[in-house]
């Protein structure tokens, strides 16, 4: 497997060159799945561009083909593992938060606080930003300093913890 060292300047130059292709992939998949996660898709596309630049082997085909498949595959994976799951949890958390199941708002708020207290600080922060504040992945990345994939992993781990602990309450 080929591995190259890519400088920031070269990556930025190449990103500007491939921006149109990456934008086309991200917008087509946003429309196809009827989701508004363009910024998240572009962050994933940017990461996949870097990976493709590092590992591209010209004997195996064209760069644009590799890039297209890596980006669309990563976005499909993101949609399957995060958006569908997060939309379900977001609606459940909002129901819980606005007291759809309980008659007393205090009870609902206590359950939400209990859920967030159960998580680690970073996990709770990311879930609050994603589900209650409706921040995009890119906005969370900028605010927290975590990488896109770190945020996705923390989000997934936190939601799995909540399901195991509070599955009957949410």
Per residue in 70-109, pLDDT (tens digit) is: 999 998 888 877 766 666 666 665 555 544 344 443 334 4
Q: Measuring CA to CA, which residue among 11, 45, 43, 19 is closest to residue 146?
A: 43
In a domain, 44, yes or no: yes
**Number of domains observed in the structure of the chain:** 1
Mean pLDDT of all residues in 11-32: 92
pLDDT in tens, 22-77: 999 999 988 888 777 888 889 999 999 999 999 888 888 889 998 999 999 998 88
Question: Is 132 among the domain residues?
Answer: yes
Closest alpha carbon to 51 in 30, 67, 27, 28: 67
- Does any domain span residue 55? yes
Q: Is residue 1 part of a domain?
A: no
Per DSSP, the residues of 29-50 read HHHHHT---HHHHHHHHHHHHH
CB atoms within 10 A of CB 66: 19
Say if 90 falls within a structural domain.
Answer: yes
For 152-163, the pLDDT digits (tens) are 888 888 888 877
Q: Is residue 160 part of a domain?
A: yes
Q: What is the pTM of this model?
A: 0.53
Instruction: Show the domain range for 138.
Output: 8-166
For residue 128, the Cα-to-chain-centroid distance in whole angstroms is 14
Beta strands per DSSP E along the chain: none
DSSP secondary structure code for residue 170 in this structure: -
Q: Which residues have C-beta within 8 Å of that of residue 37, sequence separation ≥ 6?
A: 30, 78, 83, 136, 137
Q: Which of 74, 50, 76 is nearest to 63 (CA)?
A: 50
In a domain, 2, yes or no: no
């Amino acid at each position: 497997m080929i591995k190259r060292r890519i400088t920031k300047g070269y990556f930025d130059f190449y990103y500007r060159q491939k921006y149109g292709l990456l934008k086309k992939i991200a917008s087509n998949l946003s429309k196809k799945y009827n989701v508004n996660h363009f910024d998240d898709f572009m962050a994933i596309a940017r990461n996949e561009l870097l990976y493709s630049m590092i590992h591209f082997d010209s004997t195996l085909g064209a760069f644009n083909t590799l890039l297209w498949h890596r980006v669309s595959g990563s976005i499909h994976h993101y949609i399957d593992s995060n958006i569908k799951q997060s939309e379900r949890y977001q609606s459940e958390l909002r129901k819980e938060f606005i007291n759809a199941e309980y008659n007393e708002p205090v009870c609902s708020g206590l359950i939400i606080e209990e859920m967030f207290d159960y998580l680690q600080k970073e996990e709770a922060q990311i879930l609050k930003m994603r589900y209650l504040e409706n921040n995009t992945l890119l906005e969370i990345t900028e605010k927290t300093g975590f990488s896109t994939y770190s945020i996705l992993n923390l989000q997934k781990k936190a939601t799995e913890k909540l399901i195991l602990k509070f599955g009957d309450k949410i």
